[in-house]
Amino acid sequence: MVKRGEQMEAIIIEDLVKRYGQFTAVDRATLRVDEGTVYGLIGPNGAGKSTIIRSLLGLIPYQGGKVIVSGTDMSTPDAQRKVRVGYLPQKAAFQEWRTCEQALLTLGRLSGLEGERLRTRVDEVLDQLGLEEHRKRRVSKLSGGTLQKLGFAQAMLHEPSVLVLDEPMASLDPASRFMFKKIIKDLRASGTTILFSSHILSDVEDLADDVGLLQNGKARYSGPIDGLERMVSLRSELVVELADDRGEWRSVSVPGTDIRQPSPGWLVVHIDDAAQWDVLASRIVEALMKAGCHIRAFNRHDPKLEDVYMAYVGGAK
Amino acid sequence: MSLGLLFKDEVNGFYRSKVMIALLVGMPVIAVLMYLLSPDLGGMPLAAFTAVTISSMAGLLASTTLSVSIINERTQGVYDLFLVRPVKRSHLLVAKYLAVVACVVAAAVLALLVASAYDWSVQGTVYLGELGQPTLVVMTMACVSCAVAVLVGTLVRSVLLGVILTIYGGNQLSAVIVLTSLENVVSTETSALIGLVLAAVVLASSVVLFSRKVSS
Ligand SMILES: Nc1ncnc2c1ncn2[C@@H]1O[C@H](COP(=O)(O)OP(=O)(O)O)[C@@H](O)[C@H]1O
Ligand SMILES: [Mg+2]
């Protein structure tokens, strides 16, 4: 892990506003991605992930704020010459008459690769993504997953310093998903900055150093994953399993806690102030035992990213 | 630099499309068939007749293909992969335009050569001098209707609407220009010049609109 605070920001999105007509798709979103890290942008469908990404790359105009990639505003002329970015769209599309190889050759040339170097890189990415057998196939004949791999291949072809992936793993089978994750980890290890969007939380947990949580075009959180989890440990729970539950626990009351019974034999104790955990947890167990409960087991339940996600954005849907 | 690359690429793509087969094979075949089936051509040579048929067909085929392909590629997001690279938005459109016009002109010239060869074998003479004008007419019509096709392609999202606008906008417009010369209002050269200027203006406006990302 690179130490925090020492590196520059590769991507800065500040107070970004994007409207489609009257509709505000991105509402003053602010996100930062440190150089050499992996950033996961999560949020439900329609949250504005693709819109942020497309504004970031200078593909669509936006109404307010600023977006900067490696010190360059991508909507200015010549920005693409100064900063090497790779982009995998949510749905990668190629001209239908091309073969996989032709698509990569053309896009590689446009990225400034040529000659032997171009050939080598095309071979390398075809191999890395397991596309060798499709090399000479027409793009129009490819399945959705294979097309997605070709999309990833063109995104990393020219070894960009910043890689932007829009829901890279959404339509993949488990094996391909594993392959994509491995490549993302390898690219990170070689120093590439990666921003990817997803609505699949396990992907973000596996890959990202930092996360951005997006809902209705607003950035609800942006920062390290563990920071997010710490914020949510406010909601940590003590789960108690009882042997022959006769309701003795009803008489127990400890200030600052709240006992509920989701199903017979199980108690869930909310502790309002996580800082008081060490004091209150043992006090509750003591009180329960004094009241005559037979405790079979007890356990601390820290919410997973999934719970965090539901707490932040899931409630609406 | 990227323009040359894109142009070669687009010629390659258009060349592989079925439209090009229609242009290369279909046009001469149709011209010959119509020539043989028309009873009263007053001894018109095949080459001259071919020129007339082509000028009405080639522009139509090429321009509708052009607008449909731009609409499809734009709405599918094909251009995004180009635009995150050092490629000018204007080059995307101009390369496509030049590629299609070049293909149409090549097909037209080929058809005229074939027809001339036929005339040569039948009559022993070829009226090459008389082919200059029809060729110019074909080129003018192709340039104008393809420019309109590019404009339609950059603005419209529906393929059907795009086709209708291209046919009515592009081909009527190019026909009007060509008519001025056929009716001897102005010379063929003048009408070609008017056509080329008009095509350039339409193309330039498309480029400006596309660069402002009006329709993305
Ligand atoms: N071209 C467009 N025109 C109008 N509305 C759009 C357009 N693209 C996206 N939107 C709207 O903007 C919102 C955000 O979309 P998007 O960025 O695609 O979300 P996500 O990628 O998070 O699923 C959605 O409500 C969507 O309907
Ligand atoms: Mg999206």
- Cα separation, A134 vs B162, in Å, equals 34
Reduce the secondary structure of A142-203 to three states and give it as a string.
CCHHHHHHHHHHHHHCCCCCEEEEECCCCCCCHHHHHHHHHHHHHHHHCCCEEEEEECCHHH
A262's enclosing H/E stretch is strand A257-263
- pLDDT at B12 exceeding the cut of 80: yes
Q: Is B3 on the interface with A (CB under 8 A)?
A: no
Q: What is the mean pLDDT of residues A178-206?
A: 92
> Would you say the C-alpha torsion B183, B186, B188, B193 has a positive or negative sign?
negative
What's the A48 CA to ligand 1 centre distance in angstroms?
Answer: 6
pLDDT of residue A27: 94
For chain A, the structural domain boundaries read 2-231, 237-301
Smallest Cβ distance to B17: which of A92, A97, A110?
A97
Q: pLDDT per residue over A15-24, tens digit each?
A: 999 999 999 9
Q: What is the mean pLDDT of residues A274-299?
A: 88
Distance from CA of B135 to the nearest CA of A (A): 30
* Ligand 1 site-directed mutation target among A13, A16, A23, most atoms within 8 Å of CB: A23
pLDDT of residue B13: 83
- pLDDT at A192 exceeding the cut of 70: yes
pLDDT of residue B122: 78
pLDDT of residue B152: 95
What's the B124 CA to ligand 2 centre distance in angstroms?
Answer: 67
What's the B25 CA to ligand 2 centre distance in angstroms?
Answer: 44
Residues with C-beta less than 6 Å from any ligand 1 atom = A 20, 23, 25, 43, 45-51
Which residues place a Cβ less than 5 A from the ion ligand 2?
Answer: A 49-50, 90
- Angle in degrees, CA A79, A85, A89, rounded to 5: 115
pLDDT of residue A81: 85
Q: pLDDT per residue over B100-136, tens digit each?
A: 888 888 888 887 787 788 778 877 777 667 677 777 8
CB contact under 8 A, B216 and A85: no
- Residue pair B78/A95 in contact (Cβ under 8 Å)? The answer is yes
For chain B, the structural domain boundaries read 3-215
pLDDT of residue A3: 44
Smallest Cβ distance to B85: which of A54, A60, A80?
A80
C-alpha distances out from residue A151 to A131, A204, B108, B204, Å: 11, 20, 38, 32
In B77-211, which residue ranges form alpha helices assigned H by DSSP? 78-83, 89-123, 128-155, 159-165, 172-182, 188-211
Residue nearest atom 25 of ligand 1, based on CA coordinates: A46
**A11: nearest Cα among A96, A79, A69:** A69
Q: pLDDT per residue over B140-157, tens digit each?
A: 888 889 999 999 999 999
Q: Is A140 on the interface with B (CB under 8 A)?
A: no
pLDDT of residue B55: 65
Q: Is B120 on the interface with A (CB under 8 A)?
A: no
A70 is written with which tokens?
Answer: 């490696």
Q: What percent of chain A has pLDDT over 90?
A: 61
Q: pLDDT per residue over A211-246, tens digit each?
A: 999 989 999 889 988 777 666 555 668 899 998 888
- Cα separation, B58 vs B41, in Å, equals 22
CB contact under 8 A, B84 and A154: no
- Residue pair A85/A56 in contact (Cβ under 8 Å)? The answer is no
Instruction: Work out the pLDDT band at A1, boundaries 50, 70, 90.
Output: very low
State the closest ligand 1 atom to the C-alpha of A214, by its place in the atom list counted from 1.
22
Q: A118: how many CB neighbours lie within 10 A of its CB?
A: 18
Instruction: Work out the pLDDT band at A167, boundaries 50, 70, 90.
Output: very high
Q: Are β-strands A193-198 and A162-166 bridged in parallel, bridged antiparallel, or unpaired?
A: parallel
* The model's pTM: 0.83
pLDDT of residue B123: 76
Instruction: Work out the pLDDT band at A191, boundaries 50, 70, 90.
Output: very high
Q: Is B82 on the interface with A (CB under 8 A)?
A: yes
State the closest ligand 1 atom to the C-alpha of A45, by its place in the atom list counted from 1.
23
* Most trustworthy range by pLDDT among A91-100, B130-139, B162-171: A91-100
Q: Is A112 on the interface with B (CB under 8 A)?
A: yes
pLDDT of residue A232: 56
Q: What percent of chain A has pLDDT over 70?
A: 91
A213's enclosing H/E stretch is strand A210-215
Distance from CA of B7 to the nearest CA of A (A): 11
Q: pLDDT per residue over B14-61, tens digit each?
A: 777 777 777 777 777 877 787 777 766 666 677 777 776 776 677 888
Q: Which residues contact B63 (CB under 8 A, 6 or more apart)?
A: B100, B142, B145, B146, B148, B149, B166, B170, B171
Average pLDDT, chain B: 83
Q: Which residue of B has its CA nearest to A84?
A: B85
Average pLDDT, chain A: 88
**Domain A2-231 CATH (choose: 3.40.50.300, 3.20.20.150, 3.30.390.30, 3.40.50.800):** 3.40.50.300
Q: Is A148 on the interface with B (CB under 8 A)?
A: no
pLDDT of residue A122: 97
What's the B94 CA to ligand 1 centre distance in angstroms?
Answer: 30
pLDDT of residue A181: 96
Q: Is A153 on the interface with B (CB under 8 A)?
A: no
Ligand at minimal distance from the CA of A26 is: 1
- pLDDT at A148 exceeding the cut of 60: yes
Q: Which residues of A are less than 8 Å from B87 in CB distance?
A: 80, 110
Instruction: Work out the pLDDT band at A89, boundaries 50, 70, 90.
Output: very high
B93 is written with which tokens?
Answer: 């459109």
* Ramachandran category for residue B60: left, alpha or beta (phi over 0 → left; psi -120 to 50 → alpha): alpha
Residue nearest atom 2 of ligand 1, based on CA coordinates: A20
Domain topology for A237-301: Alpha-Beta Plaits (3.30.70)
* Most trustworthy range by pLDDT among A78-87, A118-127, A270-279, B87-96: A118-127
pLDDT of residue A244: 82
Ligand at minimal distance from the CA of A41 is: 1
Which has the higher per-residue pLDDT, A179 or A225?
A: A179
**A18: nearest Cα among A45, A55, A57, A49:** A55
